[in-house]
Structure 1
Amino acid sequence: MDAHLRDLRYFVVTAEELNFTRAAERLFISQPGLSKQIRQLEDGLRVKLFVRDRRTVTLTASGAALLPRARELVQLWDEAQRAVSDAAAAEAAVLTLGISTSTGRGLLPAIRARLAERRPDWRLQVRQIDWADATAGLAGGETDLALLWLPFPGQEQFAVQVVATEPRWVALPAGHRLAGAAEIPFAALLDEPFLALPETAGALRDHWLAVDERDGRPVRIGGVVANADETFEAVSEGLGVVLLSAGNAEIYRRPGVVARPVTGLTPAQLALVRRPDDHRTVLRDVLDAVRHHAAPPVTP
């Protein structure tokens, strides 16, 4: 049987994690879906690759034999895709930036100005990607760079440059009992229904639900939202509340929704993210533009 590279990639990640739940999170698929693909690979090869019990996952001898060869094949294919992408990007002179929310903060004008100055033949293409892919296309190679809120799944695999650190606010329906408060303690929101990102958003979903600040209190989920437009429509309809950054509170101001500062929460961080093995000089121009734009003013 000729195995699909996708299945070999799933096998490699599962072998590295030795945990189907963590592997599924890295791959942005469901755990049952991952198990199904691994079984399909095993059936095709007519061997068992993993031994699983309730607590542990281990490689069989066949799995251990396959791992270095599967890793090599996946790496070769990734390099081939990257070479093709680089050639296409150089020919088209387009740099694709993935985002999941409006960026504001003057970041896009700063990037475009730097490209116009240093790379007049290049243009910036912005691609909006739903939160189901918390890397905004980076993990799958659809984008060259991404502006992402931290933390996100697989963050340690990427190069991350923080460009903004802002307090977290909360968006509420205009008629909410707390809508008139100047600021809101997070403790006052613990029993509220919250709008949640898809489960594939992993650590990012937990961050915007403030899971770490709840002292073990469970989250009431009022609904799952795929993007910013769905989010604020759901807030205005009274389906739940949602945390957001202070900067985005201004960007997404709209009738039927109010935003208030929240006390008792750590701040949110927005970062420019790239693949660490992408060393094209045009990316350095973008990073320089963002660093210069985000740098605090020098006090005389």
Structure 2
Amino acid sequence: MTADVHVRDLRYFVTVAEELHFTRAAERLYVSQPALSKQIRALERQLGVELLRRDRHGVALTAEGAALLPHARRVLEAWAQGTAVVAQARAAQRSTLVVGMSTSPGRGGLLPAIRSRFTASHPQAAVRLRQVSWDDPTAGLADGDTDMAFVWLPLPGQERYAWTVVAEEPRLVALPDSHPLASRPEIDFTDLAEEPFLALPKSAGPLRDYWLAVEERAGRLPRIGAEIASTEETYEALVAGLGVCLVAVGNVPLITLGGVVTRPVRGLAPSRYVLAWRKGDHRPLVRAYADACRRVTERGRGGPRRPSGVATSSHDEGA
């Protein structure tokens, strides 16, 4: 039996063991059900035992699975405590807040406005911005490389984070200006269903599906024209005619550099761009930066609003 088991695999196993239902477990984990089943089978092969028995009646723990479950829970709890201690130790040695992002937030000078308000209340603190590849949809939060991050919902492991909403923006479609649909002032999503789409890396998980509008496709799989991992790759793929892609209104200036146009799309819910941090991180700098962001975005909307999480205010945690 090998000991090289990933924490992620244990988290997957514990979630399925708690739900005894792969679909519900996949929804909790923000992964697809086939991907979850594949990962559980890989864990079973790695351990050389069957952990879960699947049949037409449902899912049940085997004796081996029941024996592993309490130990797996303790490992996950210990790992969470360990990462929290590391974060606290790192914070104790510096008064620098590391803020991750995959693309520049732009949006009317958002970053300078937040920095100005933050440094006014914490003049000795520094903010360091870190550009993170689109391979990591959490922009460094998941592995502790960043303290906070500007990210798009949905996030993998979303229950681990708190956030405040920066912007809710319509999703437009970006396409070459020579595309037959480019002449329309507005496009129905059903007219895009058969188009090849540019996709985020598979590691982006639920965010990849979101920008492919999988939920709006009524079970039909999208055609993937190419994978993109940066704004530069996106623009080049669009100009080359490899596919179309959805883009939030605030990011339109990043890819409409010539030869590319955007059009409104009927039938799509708006996107949500947020400033996120790890739940339970109550450090003063984190709370202050979140508050500065909230105040700047409230001012931009013309009035106060309560910050949002998935469904309840607990995702903001009063930071």
- For 2:74 and 2:197, the matched residues in 1 are separated by 43
- For 1:236 and 1:57, the matched residues in 2 are separated by 48
The 1:8–1:133 alpha-carbon spacing in structure 2 relative to 1, beyond 3 Å, is closer
User: Quick one: which amino acid aligns to residue 31 of structure 2?
Assistant: E
Q: How do 1:66-85 residues align onto structure 2 when only pairs under 5 Å count? A: 66-85=68-87
Alignment correspondent of 2:105: 103
Return the TM-score normalized by structure 1. 0.85
Equivalent of 1:114, from 114, 117, 121? 117
Alignment correspondent of 1:297: 302
Q: How do 1:223-234 residues align onto structure 2 when only pairs under 5 Å count? A: 223-234=226-237
The answer to whether the 8 A contact 1:96-1:144 is kept is yes
SS of the equivalent of 1:25 reads: coil
SS of the equivalent of 2:182 reads: coil
Correspondence 1:193 to 2:199: no
The 1:140–1:298 alpha-carbon spacing in structure 2 relative to 1, beyond 3 Å, is closer
User: Quick one: which amino acid aligns to residue 64 of structure 1?
Assistant: A
Equivalent of 1:127, from 126, 130, 136? 130
Residue segments in structure 2 that go unaligned for 5+ positions in a row: 305-319
The answer to whether the 8 A contact 2:114-2:289 is kept is yes
SS of the equivalent of 2:174 reads: strand
Correspondence 1:258 to 2:258: no
- For 1:12 and 1:206, the matched residues in 2 are separated by 22
Correspondence 1:184 to 2:183: no
- For 2:117 and 2:92, the matched residues in 1 are separated by 18
Seq. identity, %:
46
Alignment correspondent of 1:3: 3
Q: Once superposed, what is the RMSD of the aligned Cα atoms? A: 2.8
User: Quick one: which amino acid aligns to residue 3 of structure 1?
Assistant: A
Correspondence 1:209 to 2:212: yes
1:83-105 CA distances to partner (integer Å, 9 max, x unpaired)?
12222223122222222222112
Return the TM-score normalized by structure 2. 0.80
User: Quick one: which amino acid aligns to residue 181 of structure 2?
Assistant: L
Alignment correspondent of 1:39: 45
User: Quick one: which amino acid aligns to residue 182 of structure 2?
Assistant: A
Q: CA deviation at 1:53?
A: 5.0
Alignment correspondent of 1:13: 12
